Amino acid sequence: MAALSTLTIADAREMLRAGETTSREITEDCLAAIAGAGALNAFVTVTADKALAMADAADQRRAAGDESDLLGIPLGIKDVYCTAGVRSQAASRILDGFTPPYESTVTSKLWDAGAVMLGKLNMDEFAMGSSTENSVYGPCVSPWRREGDTTPITAGGSSGGSATAVAADLCLGATGTDTGGSIRQPAAFTGTVGIKPTYGRCSRWGIIAYASSLDQAGPFAKTVRDAAILLKAMAGHDPKDSTSADRPVPDFEAALGGDLRGKRIGLPKEYREGLGAEIDALWVKGAGMLRDAGAEVVDISLPHTKYALPAYYIIAPAEASSNLARYDGVRYGYRARLGQGDGVVEMYEKTRAEGFGPEVRRRVMVGAYVLSAGYYDAYYLQAQKVRTLIRRDFENAFASVDAILAPATPSPAFGLGEMQGDPVAMYLQDVFTITVNLAGLPGICVPVGTSGSGLPLGLQLIGQPWGEAGILDAAFALEQRAGFTATPQRWW
């Protein structure tokens, strides 16, 4: 019998309901898998005692007649989510030792649904990065390797720990956040499914902020069905979050049919610029799969796409510089050692210089610059205008199509260290994902094939606002026809 940690959420749910296993047994198997996967550096905090207690409570609820979808399902939680009594430091030194006394809304919903917390997952510091190399815990390593090559591969970022944990069967599902592609890019790199919901679909309360108008919570899963199950539990209105939408949450799993007859799928011609040959061929193949499912596939234009990357790297750092101003060493987290005669200003300066990593310092400085009196109109205001134009492009496109099929990444996963010296090359990893965040739209990444070197490749489907059910259905059709069954060969 295969390890219980390799189960999908849907399969585990059925086994639990049939009495073929217990939550404690699945949880113990996951904890054993985590203990044997230290080389991946995916889990940065393991809450074994808490997990077993939650598993036992779930088994008791089931014995009393509860059949909730996530009851007894073990999950990993990205370190950016505040979890009561458990270290939550967004992979940053400046939050060293921070243990929140409160629970984020999204994780509260998961625990109310009966899910089990295995621990916290590695990430780029404050979710700033595309490779999980900007982490105080050290980089997360993908379970995948290039064929015939032992070079450690990135799991993507910022939610690299979440992607690795799901791909390596350390947990049955995981939470992530997506500010510019931080769910979809790691999913593409690791052969997992990741969905970034519409901005406002999931509460941001209790999630450590990077860029407040862009951040959105979402799940990682092994299948589209599992992603639908997780998203239903995570989504919903939260009065504690002023940006949370008061809209009903559909039954996303019930929407999975895979029949796309009568649907129109758009292919944005602008996304072909800078696209690698393997991803381009995959895109063509994916379009053919959607045609086989009954969809009409048409070319569309998103003319302001070329301005998205510079606009994003003005808006996101600007919001980050404001959000991260609160970390000063006064009330919680890291405080620098002060010299004789140092005052409060020196404490602020030393604490922030020592507490933030290089990438966070870079983005905070960029953000402070574009918000400064002499440059606000020239940079930040112009970027916001571009953001409006990008959103309008999508609105015009959705007047004639139901969803958009696009690449998720310009290339397969790269080796750790291969891009560290070139921040611009690293930023270009987000070129196909950031438009979705700027427009506040839902997007889902599905594994569709493998590269010539054996690494997974994914495509993303982009939907209209609140159109998660539609893109989940299209993703389900794509998943069925792609038949992606590749798994990483165990080396860790």
Residues with catalytic roles: 78, 158, 182
Give dist(CA 3, CA 490) in Å, integer.
14
Rg, C-alpha atoms of the chain: 21
Strands (E), 408-454: 443-450
Give dist(CA 298, CA 402) in Å, integer.
11
Give dist(CA 96, CA 300) in Å, integer.
47
How is residue 473 written in tokens?
A: 């259905």
CB 51 within 8 A of CB 5: no
CB 167 within 8 A of CB 455: no
CB 248 within 8 A of CB 121: no
How is residue 304 written in tokens?
A: 């302001």
Strands 443-450 and 193-196, sheet pairing:
antiparallel
CB 265 within 8 A of CB 474: yes
Give dist(CA 10, CA 13) in Å, integer.
5
Which residues does 136 contact at the CB level (< 8 Å), separation at least 6?
89, 91, 92, 93, 96, 125, 357
Three-state DSSP at 330 gives coil
Q: How far apart are the first and last CA of the chain?
A: 21
How many Cα atoms sit within 13 Å of 311 on the Cβ side? 24
CB 113 within 8 A of CB 210: no
Which residues does 403 contact at the CB level (< 8 Å), separation at least 6?
263, 265, 266, 461, 462, 463, 464, 467, 470, 471, 474
CB 295 within 8 A of CB 264: yes
Helical packing angle, 9-17 and 23-35, nearest 10°: 140
Strands 116-121 and 296-300, sheet pairing:
unpaired
CB 444 within 8 A of CB 479: no
CA distances to 7, 30, 39, 413, 426 from 417, in Å: 33, 30, 16, 12, 11
CA dihedral (355, 357, 362, 366) in degrees, to 10, reads: -40
Give dist(CA 340, CA 231) in Å, integer.
53
